[in-house]
Structure 1
Amino acid sequence: MEDAPSKPLWDKISAYKTMAWEAYKSKPISYWVLLLLSSGAMLIAFPASSLLSRLYYSNGGKSKWIISWVAVAGWPLIVLMLVPTYFICGTFPTPLNLKLILAYVGLGFLSAADNLMYAYAYAYLPASTASLLASTSLIFSALFGYLLVKNKINASAINAIVIITAAMAMIALDSDSDRYGNITDKQYILGFVWDIFGSALHGLIFALSELVFVKLLGRRSFHVVLEQQVMVSLFAFFFTTTGVIVSGDFQGMQSEARTFKGGKSSYILVLIWSVITFQLGVLGATAVLFLSSTVLAGVLNAIRVPLTSIAAVILLKDPMSGFKILSLIVTFWGFGCYIYGSYPVSKEPS
């Protein structure tokens, strides 16, 4: 009698195993290799990019524009991946029209602004805190997706929004133990606010990108996804480069490199690896979205948050208070609620 209640659980586990096996058999091995590589890129490159941004500031870097610039300077890497797809798939570049160009220009400008907001966040906040706050982009993606693309918001999504918001409030309440000694109250608040604004803008960009696919492109193939990423990154690069030139931060790189901890070579390596890791993360996320779904991307993003926070504590000696640990657990739980609610409910056979 005691074993009876556990039987449905084992039935569900067996059903999931069968479903996973059927899904595995339905795709060629090359698909799973590409999905594995893409997922690995997300889980390794994005946390590495976040840590490098914080390392730049902790070792003497000061420019917000430079960190914004390295986030888009690697756009030619996406071109190198895009061009072969035309030959392999036998396709042609998507024709550009005025509406599509304006959409790419608008998304490029928003991406440039988003990168600048995140640069302020990493300048004033520990990498673990900035990563946790950036997880609120899930909330804004759901809200803007509902408003602009008419995506559905179910009870699990609402529950996730409330939970993640509560987790962010925990960090705000514990700001005294979560701040570097050289950061003032005003700078910490600015970093906190810009991180939330950047996450909101990131959610808006995600929804607008989906809207471009639905309204202007009318299709979603791998090379079209890469084309959009190239064009948006190109315009973001143009806007950010203009900002770096106008601010005079390009000219200040020489003096910044001389005073950088570890010297000029360390300064150059941090910037180069920042360029590479950010673009690898973007490519990985793009491939996961195309090959699988936004749900898997959400799962990987949920895993990325604790990975970044733990790595920041170990490698950068980030402060990790009890409140932040609790916030990390609650955030992860919120992601779980959202992901669980995003899976379609299959009907039991009668």
Structure 2
Amino acid sequence: MAKLSCRASDRLLLAINYALLIGGSVSSTMLTRFYFIHGGSSRWLTTIVQSSAFPLLLIPIIISSTTTSTPIFSNFTPKLLLLCLAIGLLNGVNNLLISWGISYLPVSTSSLILSSQLAFTLILSALLVHQPITFVNLNCVILLTLSSVLLAIGSEDGDRKDGITKLQYFLGFIATVGAALLFSLYLPLVQLVYKRLSKYKMVMEMQVIMQGAATGLALVGMVAGGGVEEVRKEGKGEGEFEYGGEVYWGVVVVVTGVCWQMCFMGTAGLVFLTSSLNCGICMTATLVVNVVGGVVVFGDGFGGVKGVSCVLCLWGFCSYFYGEYRKKKEEEME
């Protein structure tokens, strides 16, 4: 967490990004699951919703620009712009893979596979941004991964999706593995870019470009794949989605889009303020929080194995941040 100073404003900004990541990740996952459980079937819709709320970021960007008298996007070079577009397209592919995985796999299985991104993130962070591998972060990675393994082992039958063929299950499995690999590459990659930035405002500007590129990719795919007609039918209440057009557009599209944008902005902010590994740990911890959310919202079973899984997750999460706190205190005393 080298970038963060001891100022109250910086601590507040860090706390806001933690809240955005955790709140956005849990709520967006729950809402996406709600859509598929109640008859929704458009994977292109759930892909585009993950990035299409990016214009909301222009509000704080414009406010920040008026207070500092700095024009928006004025610090972008052609090289940085192309890099943002490339990362955005990578993010768009990742969004599509996540949608396919959520639509085909049970929650426990997708959580297990997605948790593998933490080990990949640790390795790639060590290679790309020279993240030191210490007992603290290695212990946290092991505990969180074990937590997810127990989560999968202790899954209830009600967690599994009915009517899924072996081919669909296999496609969902491959898609989720791909999403985990791409996300573990995305985190240290953006950390490399953010190392050259000094202002949080520019992180938001980069997010606008990245999310815009991801949305453009999803729109092209939706048009080419015939997804527009599917969305039109569901939006008019003619599809299999059970709650009609108002809930479809208001909740599935608008609210879910805002929640996804909160998640991605929190992700970018944590990478900028702390590190890609720290962000990956938070993302993995939210997988277990999603299980608790499933119990509360959807009435999923919660047995002893899931309880142990949650304890291990909390243990790993707290031990990591206590280790970081001790490290920071020792650095301040030197």
Question: How high is the TM-score relative to the length of structure 1?
Answer: 0.79
Choose the corresponding residue for 2:233, options 249, 252, 255.
Answer: 255
Give yes or no for contact 1:164–1:330 (8 Å, CA) kept in 2. Answer: yes
Q: RMSD in angstroms over aligned alpha carbons?
A: 3.2
Map residues 166-177 of structure 1 onto 2, 5 A cutoff.
Answer: 166-171=146-151, 173=153, 177=157
1:275 aligns with 2:253: no
Instruction: Report what 1:316 is aligned to.
Output: 298
Choose the corresponding residue for 2:18, options 32, 36, 39.
Answer: 39
Instruction: Report what 1:71 is aligned to.
Output: 50
Choose the corresponding residue for 1:110, options 80, 90, 104.
Answer: 90
Distance in 2, matches of 1:197 and 1:339, equals 29
Instruction: Report what 2:116 is aligned to.
Output: 136
User: In the TM superposition, what is the alpha-carbon distance from 1:310 to its structure 2 partner?
Assistant: 0.8
Q: Aligned pair in 2 of structure 1 residues 299, 158: CA closer, same or farther (>3 Å)?
A: closer
1:119 aligns with 2:108: no
User: In the TM superposition, what is the alpha-carbon distance from 1:61 to its structure 2 partner?
Assistant: 1.2
Give yes or no for contact 1:137–1:202 (8 Å, CA) kept in 2. Answer: yes
| C-alpha distance after superposition, 1:237-263 (max 9, x if no partner) | 111111111111012112234231111
Distance in 2, matches of 1:159 and 1:39, equals 21
Choose the corresponding residue for 1:60, options 10, 14, 39.
Answer: 39
Counterpart of 1:100 in 2: which secondary structure? helix
User: In the TM superposition, what is the alpha-carbon distance from 1:179 to its structure 2 partner?
Assistant: 1.3
Q: Aligned pair in 2 of structure 1 residues 88, 180: CA closer, same or farther (>3 Å)?
A: same
Q: Aligned pair in 2 of structure 1 residues 130, 298: CA closer, same or farther (>3 Å)?
A: same
Instruction: Report what 2:129 is aligned to.
Output: 149
1:265 aligns with 2:246: yes
Give yes or no for contact 1:221–1:290 (8 Å, CA) kept in 2. Answer: no
Q: Aligned pair in 2 of structure 1 residues 233, 339: CA closer, same or farther (>3 Å)?
A: same
Q: Aligned pair in 2 of structure 1 residues 34, 145: CA closer, same or farther (>3 Å)?
A: closer
Map residues 214-225 of structure 1 onto 2, 5 A cutoff.
Answer: 214=195, 218-225=196-203
Q: Aligned pair in 2 of structure 1 residues 47, 341: CA closer, same or farther (>3 Å)?
A: same
Identity of aligned residues (%): 26
Q: Aligned pair in 2 of structure 1 residues 88, 288: CA closer, same or farther (>3 Å)?
A: farther
- The amino acid that maps onto 1:158 is L
Give yes or no for contact 1:299–1:339 (8 Å, CA) kept in 2. Answer: no
Q: Aligned pair in 2 of structure 1 residues 334, 36: CA closer, same or farther (>3 Å)?
A: closer
Distance in 2, matches of 1:262 and 1:223, equals 39
User: In the TM superposition, what is the alpha-carbon distance from 1:180 to its structure 2 partner?
Assistant: 2.5
Q: Aligned pair in 2 of structure 1 residues 110, 298: CA closer, same or farther (>3 Å)?
A: closer
Q: Aligned pair in 2 of structure 1 residues 281, 268: CA closer, same or farther (>3 Å)?
A: same
Distance in 1, matches of 2:49 and 2:302, equals 28
Q: Aligned pair in 2 of structure 1 residues 75, 213: CA closer, same or farther (>3 Å)?
A: same
User: In the TM superposition, what is the alpha-carbon distance from 1:64 to its structure 2 partner?
Assistant: 1.5
1:181 aligns with 2:162: yes
Return 169-178 or 223-232, whichever deviates more. 169-178
| C-alpha distance after superposition, 1:114-160 (max 9, x if no partner) | 11111112112344654454343332222211111122112333333
Instruction: Report what 2:29 is aligned to.
Output: 50
Distance in 1, matches of 2:99 and 2:27, equals 15
User: In the TM superposition, what is the alpha-carbon distance from 1:108 to its structure 2 partner?
Assistant: 1.0
Choose the corresponding residue for 1:96, options 36, 51, 76.
Answer: 76
Give yes or no for contact 2:281–2:317 (8 Å, CA) kept in 1. Answer: yes
Return 199-208 or 86-95, whichever deviates more. 86-95
Structure 2 gaps, min length 5: none
Distance in 2, matches of 1:130 and 1:319, equals 17
1:235 aligns with 2:217: no
Map residues 264-343 of structure 1 onto 2, 5 A cutoff.
Answer: 264-269=245-250, 270-290=252-272, 297=279, 300-301=282-283, 304-320=286-302, 322-343=304-325
| C-alpha distance after superposition, 1:306-331 (max 9, x if no partner) | 33211112212335455444444434
Distance in 1, matches of 2:200 and 2:41, equals 38
Give yes or no for contact 1:128–1:313 (8 Å, CA) kept in 2. Answer: no
Question: How high is the TM-score relative to the length of structure 2?
Answer: 0.82
Give yes or no for contact 1:69–1:237 (8 Å, CA) kept in 2. Answer: yes
Give yes or no for contact 2:156–2:301 (8 Å, CA) kept in 1. Answer: no
Choose the corresponding residue for 2:180, options 179, 182, 199.
Answer: 199
Return 97-106 or 318-327, whichever deviates more. 318-327
Equivalences, count = 323
Distance in 2, matches of 1:117 and 1:310, equals 24
